[in-house]
Homo-oligomer: A and B are copies of this chain.
């Protein structure tokens, strides 16, 4: 019997509502496929701040390093927004966790369930058939460069820095080329090379590596144009690779193709231990109301099975179970469509579990 340890970090806001259904489904998968999952819960974000005074406790890091994969809910919220930067959940916990686990690649497939085509604000003929994946660089770029804040004679001055080295770009680019190779063989590299120095290095590096992937068609696109093309004609994309902040913006935007950001899973890989989390945030406005959509987290668990444990069939089972529940007409509040049955977070989780 295979054995895997999974670190479970519910975090803040809706985190503690969307993670349990995913854990429950992993348990059912374990029984079905004879995998022994051990779950170790740990504190992160505001929840950790409140309990032990730091957003990313040493213990949590230890649990993550000793696990085979990490399942994360979401972190942050207005309660901790006024803390000094280094204590805030995002800068104090999520970013260092990604860095510490060396997760340089964040993979965000835009999954479009046929049942949800009409839930998108985009026209059916525009979105239907979309099948793309965004590969976001996750431990470099504008998020991780030096930050500072200083007093001036008349006020303050705040600085963030966008840094990339050739090596950082090469490793994410290789992953992107290889991902494209296993799909429709088209790679769109997104930058702002006409203005940014980092964008030029990005573009040059991608162009140089392209020689090693003659079977993959590489195209360069400016980030402003890409934001437009994702609304204009998303079907043109297969694999998109881009800088950390650009990837953050473009994936949230692209989520609208799938009807709701509540549908978008993500896998962060690159180190020994992969991290799986929904692409959405902690949604403080609906926290504690059993309203959140747990499907992005459940689908993130499916990505864990696929990427970390190579359990492709088990991952497929989860995706099928989600499709089946959607097909039966169940929806969470973010996806309200006429004639559909609106259910809460727990109920949605139970429905999916029931299909395994």
Chain A residues near B (Cβ < 8 Å): 76, 81, 85, 88, 90-91, 95, 121-123, 126, 142-143, 145, 147-149, 152, 154-167, 170, 192-202, 223-225, 227-228, 230-233, 245-246, 248-253, 255-256, 261, 281
Name the residue on B nearest A120 (C-beta). Answer: B123
| Bound complex: CA A181 to CA B254 (Å) | 32
> Are B159 and A163 interface neighbours, CB within 8 A?
yes
Closest 4 CB pairs of A and B: A155-B166, A158-B201, A227-B253, A224-B252
Question: Which of B122, B165, B200 has a CB less than 8 Å from the CB of A152?
Answer: B165
Select the residue from A81, A196, A223, A261 with max chain B CB neighbours within 10 A: A196
| Bound complex: CA A148 to CA B201 (Å) | 11
A46 to chain B, nearest CB (A): 12
> Are B197 and A149 interface neighbours, CB within 8 A?
yes
| Bound complex: CA A95 to CA B189 (Å) | 24
> Are A197 and B159 interface neighbours, CB within 8 A?
yes
> Are B122 and A201 interface neighbours, CB within 8 A?
no
* Contacts known (A121-B126, A122-B231, A253-B228); A195 close to B165, Cβ less than 8 A: no
> Are B123 and A197 interface neighbours, CB within 8 A?
no
| Bound complex: CA A3 to CA B161 (Å) | 46
Select the residue from A85, A95, A163, A249 with max chain B CB neighbours within 10 A: A249
| Bound complex: CA A277 to CA B152 (Å) | 34
| Bound complex: CA A161 to CA B142 (Å) | 9
A11 to chain B, nearest CB (A): 14
| Bound complex: CA A220 to CA B88 (Å) | 17
List, sorted by A's number, 22 A–B pairs whose CB atoms are closer than 8 Å: A88-B194, A91-B194, A95-B195, A121-B123, A121-B233, A122-B123, A142-B162, A143-B195, A149-B201, A152-B165, A152-B166, A155-B165, A155-B170, A156-B201, A158-B163, A158-B198, A158-B201, A192-B245, A225-B281, A227-B253, A230-B253, A246-B249
A266 to chain B, nearest CB (A): 13
What residues of B have a CB within 8 angstroms of the CB of A198 in the complex?
A: 158-160
What residues of B have a CB within 8 angstroms of the CB of A227 in the complex?
A: 227, 249-250, 252-253
> Are A166 and B159 interface neighbours, CB within 8 A?
no
What residues of B have a CB within 8 angstroms of the CB of A91 in the complex?
A: 194-195
What residues of B have a CB within 8 angstroms of the CB of A143 in the complex?
A: 195-196
What residues of B have a CB within 8 angstroms of the CB of A154 in the complex?
A: 166-167
A167 to chain B, nearest CB (A): 6
> Are B164 and A158 interface neighbours, CB within 8 A?
yes
Name the residue on B nearest A152 (C-beta). Answer: B165
Question: Which of B147, B156, B170, B253 has a CB less than 8 Å from the CB of A231?
Answer: B253
> Are A160 and B196 interface neighbours, CB within 8 A?
yes
What residues of B have a CB within 8 angstroms of the CB of A245 in the complex?
A: 192
Question: Which of B122, B161, B231 has a CB less than 8 Å from the CB of A161?
Answer: B161
A271 to chain B, nearest CB (A): 20
> Are B164 and A157 interface neighbours, CB within 8 A?
yes
> Are B156 and A165 interface neighbours, CB within 8 A?
yes
A203 to chain B, nearest CB (A): 9
A214 to chain B, nearest CB (A): 22
What residues of B have a CB within 8 angstroms of the CB of A155 in the complex?
A: 165-167, 170
What residues of B have a CB within 8 angstroms of the CB of A228 in the complex?
A: 252-253, 255-256, 261
Name the residue on B nearest A247 (C-beta). Answer: B224
